[in-house]
Structure formats: structure tokens, C-alpha cells
Amino acid sequence: MGTYLNPGNSGFTRILQSDYVDKTGLIGLVNNVINTTKNLICVSRPRRFGKSYAAQMLCAYYDKTIQAENLFSPLNIGKSSDFKKHLNHYDVIYLDITNILGNVKPVKLISFIEESISAEIKKQYPDVEIANTFDQTLINTVNFTGNKFIMVIDEWDTPIREAPEIEAKYLTFLRMLFKSSGTTAKIFAAAYMTGILPIKKDGSQSAISDFREYTILSPQDYSEFYGFTEDEVRALCESKGRSFSSAKKWYDGYTIGEVHSMYNPYSVICAMESGKYTSYWRKTSAAETLLTYIDMDEDGLQQDIARLIAGEKIQVDPFFFQNDIVNFRSKDDVLTLMIHLGYLTYEEVPDSYGDDETTTGFAWIPNEEVRMEFEKILRKAKHSELIELVKKSDQLLKDTIAGNEEAVSAAFDRIRDTSYAPTFYNNEQSLRYVIKMAYLSCVDQYARVEELATGHGIADVVFVPRRSSSLPAMIIELKWDKPAEGAIAQIKDRNYPAFLKGYGGDIILAGITYDEKTKNHSCKIEVSR
């Protein structure tokens, strides 16, 4: 048993001793392509979505120096008819690129990998000739042992993200291993790479062209293995006595292929262990990079960021993204990266002409956990558009609480005349959109609920203070071409404030209306105590 050659099953054994959610069905997908022309697989997904768990699971299953039947037979893969066909049949090369780069300088990465694996081959197989080139050493090993390697590369894209100075050399190394000349077929029964980014593009093509890629945008058969499904989270909550509705609110919301309710595994497990539903992104390095992307200057990006924070979906075209974190040609590139990083989720909308290359979709903030990270970053943003929007929104909140009806009406008029407003401003839904943008800065102190069913009707927009806030609650009723007094009357007649009776503080009642003839907003504000 070695560090990089045949690392054993200790990693997966440790995983099984925690609240393991059975994802061994992934092994079956890899088994299906072993020794075929489809045997090179790259699966990319965000941080803390189980990449390393999957890599260690594969190592334990294929490593021929151990016996792992007892580990896997009780799991889903143990029910497969070909469960034992590939079980512990291969020499496994395992590379955790992030871990390696934590111990060696980037410029020595390739030589370290080649020398370390060659040394472990020599230790395990003393009669194998260590050749002048790494690929020939691997061929010599296969010829000696009579069986090929399974290669597992975890965090394969770390040099692309964190050491761009060695990117070209690193990609050349991978091409050497996985080129189409037949060398790959001689060495590898299969290779599985995982990371955050898809394989970097060289022009419009993948820089390592023989890999079949599965991404958060196009997961295909791997969809259910990207995170926890709703049934899996429900079962965890039942076993731990935790609130499923809270778990859904905080960690659901990702759309992965055909799976429309996918959860962040790391955060769910943290919540199950602690019983506390909050954001666990702050404990990852992913959260530290969000401000960088929010402050970028690509045309229209700031409006889109504001719309996302306000709870809207925005259209994104991910096709031209080059799969790196340096070269951005448009706001779509920035937003696509944020999808790969897990800040946003995405659902594809096929082009009406059936042209896959022009397929676009819609992105949005998936859940309360990620929304909290956006909210924290909002006031730290350096871009002038967001700064100005937050400043005006803060003043609007003060004016609303103070009952300054004229100032509130004027604020809505100004928002209506900006690029943040809908192009077609012709109904209450359009007005609701302007309300969300106008009160953008409220998101860090309020939970906003739209069209809240109260038992007596539906309140248009309700702002409920978070526990840490001392601000009053707000109920906002919207009307189109009707007096604002009528909106206040509806709030009272249908007794909307009764829904907040457990809240205990003052409740601001605001009626907002728009007159299509005068093109002006009007406002009526009262306080319910």
C-alpha cells in the first residue's frame, strides 16, 4: 500500500463511519466504460459537493492490494450483477493535486508526481524497469503485471485555478498520459478526474480532447451523484431527528440535469451534526472569492448581480466560457464561472431552433445559505453601481419606517427610470419587481416573502425581520391604477397583520400604487401596533 500507488481503503472506511449517503452507484457508471473508448471521465462540481469522497470510494473499490468486498457488499453497488467483476482488480494511481501542491512548489509538480509514482512502482514491483519517460515506465509496469491502471485524479484543476504559471506544462503532462495515439489504451483501464472546473478549452475545443466531460451544466447520467437528493436528505433528517423543511430552505435549490432538487452535501451533513441551520460556506475558501466576481466590470454584470440578490432569475449563455478564472470576455463568462463554483444554479432552456451551440438558460441564487453569502458581500462591494443602489435602498427603508410617503413615492419613480426596471411596465407583477429592487439592501435584515398566503387572502410582499434585527415588520400591498388608500384598506380588511401576531413589534403597512396616465407612483403608510 502506497501514497500514490494503491492507496488502500482507509479513506473510504473513515467516510463510512460517518453519516454516509450511499453514492456507490457511481462505481457502476465507471465499470461500464472500463477498457472501452469511453474510459476517460472528467466530472466537475463545486467545492464541498463530495468530489473527494467519490475519489476515495473509487480507490477502495479498484485497488487490488486490498480486499474491500465487506465494505461494498452492503451498499448499492453490492446489489449489482457485476459487483465483483472489477472489485479490487487493478493497480490504482491516486493523485490529490491540491494536497500535492500544498507540499511542493508548483514548478516541481510534474517531476514530483513522476518521481513519486515511479518510486512506489519500483518498491512494489522491483523487477519493473524505470524508463527515461514516465509513460514508458507505466507501460513497462502493465507489461510486467499483466493488468492496466485505474487512475483517479482529485482536484485536477487546482493548477488552473491557483498556479497559472504552470498551466501549460501541466496540460502537456495530462495530454502525454491521455493522448489518442494508443498510449492511453496500453496503460489505463479507466481514468476518473474530478475538480471544480471543466477541462480548459483550447479555442473552442477541450485541451484534453479524449475525456468525456460531465459538468454541473451537463451532468447526463451522473446527475444524482452531484449532491444529495431530496429523498436522501429526508432520510437523514428522519434518522437524526432534524427539521426537513429547514434543510430544504437552507440547502436545496440546485438544478443538476434532470434532478431539480439537489442539496449541498457538506452543508447538510454539518447541519445534521450540529442541529444548526446556517451558512457553512464561510468555512470554505469558495466564499472568499465571491466579492472578486461581484465587483467585475463586464457590461451589465452589476445589474444582473442586483437582480440575483433581489431574488430574480437571469439569462446566461455558458457556451463560450473557456473554463478558467482569468480570461473573461463577457458577463456571461463571469456568471458561468459562478455556476461552476456553486454560487448560482442553472437550468437550460433549449434554443427554439434546436441548435445546441446557442442553448442558453436561466441562473439564480439556489438557497438561503448562498443568499446569505451574497447578502454579506453586498455591502462590501466596490463597484459604483452597487454602492449607489445600496445607498438609495438604505435611505428608502429609513423613509418607509419614518412614514415619509413623498420620499418613498419619489424613490420608486427613480427606480422605474433606471435600467433595473422591467422594459414593459404594465401590471402589478412589474411593480412587484421594482419593489424588490428598491428594497434591495433589506435582504440582510429581513426575510422577504412574496404573495404570502395569510388565510384571509394573499399579501403582495411581506418583510419579516430576522432575529438579529430590531427593525419593524413591513407589509406592502401593490395596486395598478388604483388609489394607495385602497391598498391600505385591503391590508386592514383582510387582517394581514394578524399573520405576524407572534412577531410582537410594530408593523409598517404600506400601500404602493402606480398611475399609468401620470407615470408616477404614490404611497400611503400607516403603523400597526
**CA dist., res. 13 & res. 72, Å (int):** 10
Quote the mean pLDDT of the chain.
88
Domains of the chain by range and CATH?
A: 10-214 (3.40.50), 228-378 (no CATH), 384-528 (3.40.1350)
- Fill in the DSSP letter of residue 12: H
Among the listed residues 439, 470, 408, the one whose alpha carbon sits nearest the alpha carbon of residue 311: 439
Beta bridge partners of 213: 42
Is 45:265 a contact under the CB 8 Å cutoff? no
Q: For residue 372, give every residue at least 6 positions away whose Cβ sits within 8 Å of its Cβ, in sequence order, or none.
A: 278, 279, 281
Among the listed residues 150, 152, 148, the one whose alpha carbon sits nearest the alpha carbon of residue 192: 152
188-195 and 149-154 as β-strands: parallel, antiparallel, unpaired?
parallel
pLDDT digits (tens, 9 = 90+) for 407-425: 999 998 888 888 777 777 8
Evaluated on CA atoms 333, 337, 338, 340, the torsion sign reads: positive
pLDDT digits (tens, 9 = 90+) for 323-367: 877 778 889 999 999 999 999 999 987 665 555 555 679 999 999
Is 44:195 a contact under the CB 8 Å cutoff? yes
pLDDT at 157: 92
Q: Which residues of 281-315 are buried (b: 16+ CB within 10 A; e: fewer)?
A: beeeebbebbeebbbeebeebbbbbbbbbbbebbe
Share of the chain above pLDDT 90, in %: 53
Of 14-18, 79-83, 204-208, 501-505, the poorest mean pLDDT is in: 204-208
pLDDT digits (tens, 9 = 90+) for 440-469: 888 888 888 887 665 555 668 888 888 777
**CA dist., res. 44 & res. 51, Å (int):** 8
C-alpha cell read off for 487: 391598498
Q: What is the dihedral of CA 197, 200, 206, 211, to 10 degrees?
A: -50
Among the listed residues 474, 480, 518, 520, the one whose alpha carbon sits nearest the alpha carbon of residue 497: 474
What is the 3 state secondary structure string of 56-108?
HHHHHHHECCCCCHHHHCCCHHHHCCCCCCCCCCEEEEEEEHHHHHCCCCHHH
In this structure, the number of other CB atoms found within 10 A of the CB of residue 362 comes to 16
Cα–Cα distance list, 478 to 430, 498, 523 (Å):
10, 19, 10
Q: What is the dihedral of CA 469, 470, 472, 478, to 10 degrees?
A: -20
- Fill in the DSSP letter of residue 336: H
pLDDT digits (tens, 9 = 90+) for 21-68: 999 999 999 999 999 999 999 999 998 899 999 999 999 999 999 999
* Cβ-based burial of 518 (10 A; exposed 0-12, middle 13-18, buried ≥19): exposed
Distance in angstroms between the alpha carbons of the first and the last residue of the chain: 71
**CA dist., res. 434 & res. 456, Å (int):** 25
Is 62:56 a contact under the CB 8 Å cutoff? no
Residue 438 has pLDDT above 80, yes or no: yes
**CA dist., res. 181 & res. 186, Å (int):** 10
